[in-house]
Amino acid sequence: MTEQLHYPDSFLTFLEEESIDIQEFDVLLKLKRYIRIKENSSVSKEDVERDLNTTIDTISYLPNYYSLDSKKNIANSQLYKEGQIFGIDLASGIAVYALDIHRDDHVLDLCCAPGAKLCYIADLQSKHEQDFESTGTVTGVDVCAERMANCKTFIKKYKLDKARLFVADGTKFDVHAPSRTGNSINLNYSEDLNVELIKTNEYLKPFHATKKIRFDKQLKTANLLYDKVLCDVECTHEGSIAHIKKYFDRGWDSFEKKFLDKGRLAGLEDLQRGLINNGFKLLKPGSKNTCSFSKKQNEDIIVWFLKQHKDSAVIEPVPNIDKFPAAPNMFIQEFIAEFPTIKNVVRFTPKYSETSGLFIARIKKTLRSPS
């Protein structure tokens, strides 16, 4: 390396306590930007290169994904303005890929802002709409109204027609999947079934909803649980390369206050437990990920979760994971005897994937939990 990176002592101490190799962050010197071409688009790789006036490289293991120089601005691109390409980090794309989205899935994104993954989910659901009308929907939840406004902007820009947003506490959110999508009844639910329906008086007004699900009655029944749940939970962000670069550019004071405060770290772990538990309550199969490499915020949370749900949860393999640049798992050997399926958790780190860090546990509900 010709350029040296210098970190504050508090950050180095944090990495040492979490057994994180400082060399993971060498990728800061060779950052890449990632884009994705919209599903069903007639736009080609060559079209994008002409529009951006640069070469782009195909990401072989993630469909429609490409990398380019991090200094290249895509905001002025005509294809970006037209909603034909997305700017989205590779780690975010892998998180969505792990959910294995099908066009009729009802998906809950429990920490959705600013909205890149939510748009990816909705776009995948529209993949075959030129041949079939899909009935899948995506429901986004986030506690921050200001950040949720970005999601609303993305939904409109990319013309997504079966999405809704709620400003709410994800640890307590309890709105089930829509019973209808336009004129189509949710495949998981039939009005002819002899089930107990609950029409609550606690109707939660959406922050934004597209026309086809705008007037959902918010019925509650086991048949209206979500097919997939994504919990990309709040974390310390030491695994987010984009965040770390900001602190090099702007100074480290805010990082130390926001992410290394001991009280905040403990609060984050409590929040993560609450989010994953509530997501599981509303779930069929699902996935949990964070942009931290911290053992306390990843493996330890999953072990805690498995202890809470010994008879109803297992960790499934991520589809085609052998094709992805995953990092070796570092902290699972001590838990494998008690929880054999924990071997299926996946780590992506900057060193191995040249993108932000990511941890994925694809959790399958094997028995229905009380809802």
- Can you list the domains of the chain with their CATH numbers? 31-87 (3.30.70), 101-227 (3.40.50), 229-365 (3.40.50.150)
Report the distance separating Cα 59 and Cα 68, nearest Å. Answer: 11
What pLDDT does residue 251 have? 66
Picking from 356, 337, 368, 364, the residue whose alpha carbon sits closest to that of residue 27 is 356
How many CB atoms sit inside 10 A of residue 173's CB?
20
Give the residue ranges of the annotated binding site for S-adenosyl-L-methionine. 142, 169, 232
Report the distance separating Cα 94 and Cα 112, nearest Å. Answer: 15
DSSP 8-state code for residue 329: P
What pLDDT does residue 351 have? 78
Report the distance separating Cα 171 and Cα 46, nearest Å. Answer: 44
Q: How do the pLDDT tens digits run along the chain, 371 residues long?
A: 335 567 777 777 777 776 777 777 766 656 788 999 998 889 999 999 999 999 999 999 999 999 998 888 899 999 999 999 999 988 889 889 989 998 899 999 998 988 999 999 999 987 654 555 788 999 999 999 999 999 999 999 998 889 999 999 999 999 999 998 888 888 777 665 544 555 555 789 999 999 999 999 898 888 899 999 998 776 555 445 566 666 666 666 666 666 666 666 666 778 888 888 999 999 876 666 665 667 777 888 899 999 999 989 999 999 899 989 888 887 889 999 999 999 999 988 877 877 777 889 999 998 654 44
Report the distance separating Cα 235 and Cα 239, nearest Å. Answer: 9
H, E, C per residue of 106-132: EEEECCCCCCHHHHHHHHHHCCCCCCC
Give the residue ranges of the annotated binding site. 142, 169, 232
- Phi, psi at residue 33, to the nearest 5°? -105, 145
Report the distance separating Cα 149 and Cα 326, nearest Å. Answer: 33
231 in catalytic set: no
Name the pairing type of β-strands 208-209 and 57-58: unpaired
Reduce the DSSP state of residue 229 to 3 states and report it.
strand
What pLDDT does residue 187 have? 74
What pLDDT does residue 39 have? 87
Report the distance separating Cα 250 and Cα 14, nearest Å. Answer: 20
Report the distance separating Cα 160 and Cα 181, nearest Å. Answer: 13
Picking from 166, 116, 210, the residue whose alpha carbon sits closest to that of residue 124 is 116
Q: Which two tokens stand for residue 8?
A: 């504050």
Report the distance separating Cα 84 and Cα 100, nearest Å. Answer: 22
- Please report which residue ranges of the chain form alpha helices under DSSP H: 9-17, 45-52, 78-81, 90-99, 116-125, 145-157, 241-250, 253-259, 262-281, 299-308, 333-336, 350-353
User: Which entry of 112, 231, 235, 291 is annotated as an active-site residue?
Assistant: 291
Q: At what angle do helices 116-125 and 90-99 cross, to 10 degrees?
A: 40
CA distances from 6 to 27, 30, 75, 261, 293 (A): 14, 16, 31, 21, 20
What pLDDT does residue 2 have? 38
- Phi, psi at residue 90, to the nearest 5°? -60, -40
